[in-house]
Amino acid sequence: MSVFDQASSSSNSNEELSNNKHTFNDPCDEFAPFSDSELKELLQNDEIPVSKRSRMLYALKQWTESEDKMKRAIDILSVGFKSKSALLRHEIAYVMGQMRSEIAIPILENILSNLSEDSMVRHEAGEALGAIGSPSALPTLEKFVNDQYREVRETCELAILNIQYQQEKAKNPQNNQDSIFSPFSSVDPAPACSDDKKLKFDDIKNTFLDLNKPLFERYKAMFTLRNIASQYLELDKHDYMLCYKRKAQAIEVLCQGLLNPEEGALFKHEVAFVLGQIQEQSAADALESTLRDKNQHAMVRHEAAEALGSISDPESLKLLEEFQADEVEAVKDSCVVAIDMHNYWSAFLSLHKNNDEEEQ
């Protein structure tokens, strides 16, 4: 049996996940039986649905328990850059950055330096270098701060500032008033502000919306709004109703940034990503509007699609099904991945609901 047949006939196959919302399968278990060489073959095989290969990326991202296993994971991931799918290549770069291993730096530098590569993939490679945080990547990033593509230019600018921030934080941790860590599992391209500061919601909002503010400061405000929206950061700890109101306001402000036609593609795509992390249905209309707008950059529409997949409501699923034949390949692939994500989270929530009912 070939690797393709084994993947397709697996009890955890993409088809089964798509057809059974109540079957929850951990991607780490799904790909555990495969050897490294088989995983490489799977990842670069464009006949296999991109949704299934995206689940593989999630599984490989967990290979961090030892330096040897991380090295093996990055070796497998690097083969995926041979895929024709720009979305998959972009996701591989993202995962490498999230793993934060310096082993990936030369691979990511090559992707960023490849001017024939899709700008969305190059941007993700630049952001990944920033996430890893090694100053050894600074010379490469500095080469592309004047790149022909705005999303690449801005990404390199942010990555440089993020690396410098991380280096300064490491030298003087007692002087730092921002939080480099995310309440989510993600390594972010800028730190959120911590509640050690005397933060005011209107100041955060105004910084986020101000097109004249430095992009790094606006990103910090963006992730602070995310933390408020997820109630990880409570500005008014002694007033429950005000905290709840702040959550709704933070989502509203993020949606305002997403829908602003004057914003750049990089900024809007990050807002869509953040809204996907928050997973609140109140953001669905703004995300739908973004996905439907074919004048938007592909990286913005793709991120809106994946955010809708994480929200996991029936209306979002219908919308994703509508756009899974979009003429823009990255958007089409994102809708396929988002439907898979929708089914994953629906199954996850169903499993926990059933477990809670059994305990009662």
Contact (Cβ atoms closer than 8 angstroms) between residue 126 and residue 143: no
Residue 123 assigned to a binding site = yes
30 annotated as a binding-site residue: no
91 annotated to a ligand binding site: yes
Is residue 124 annotated as involved in ligand binding?
yes
Give the model's pLDDT for residue 44.
95
Residue 205 belongs to some domain of the structure? no
Residue 128 located in a structural domain:
yes
| Higher-pLDDT residue of 350, 67 | 67
Determine if residue 352 is labeled as part of a ligand binding site.
no
For 255-298, what is each residue's pLDDT tens digit? 999 999 999 999 999 999 999 999 999 999 999 999 999 999 99
d(CA 231, CA 227): 6
For 353, half-sphere exposure in the C-beta direction (CA atoms, 13 angstrom radius) is 8
Over residues 15-32, the mean pLDDT reads 56
| CA angle 128–185–314, rounded 5-degree value | 105
Would you say residue 165 lies in a domain?
yes
Specify which residues 178 forms β-bridges with: 193
Query: 117: domain CATH number?
Result: 1.25.10.10
Domain span including residue 81? 24-175
pLDDT tens for each residue of 75-88? 999 999 999 999 99
CB 320 within 8 Å of CB 305? yes
Q: Is residue 152 part of a domain?
A: yes
280 among annotated binding-site residues: no
Encode pLDDT of 217-248 as tens digits: 999 999 999 999 987 666 655 666 777 788 99
Cα separation, 285 vs 293, whole angstroms: 12
The model's pLDDT over 160-216, given as tens digits with 9 standing for 90+, comes to 999 999 998 888 766 665 665 567 889 999 999 876 457 889 999 999 999 999 999
Residue 159 lies in a domain: yes
This prediction's pTM: 0.87
Domain presence at residue 109: yes
Nearest to 15 by CA among 43, 49, 45: 49
Measure the CA angle with vertex 334, ends 21 and 339; round to 5°.
10
Q: How many structural domains are present in the chain?
A: 1
Residue 45 counted as domain residue: yes
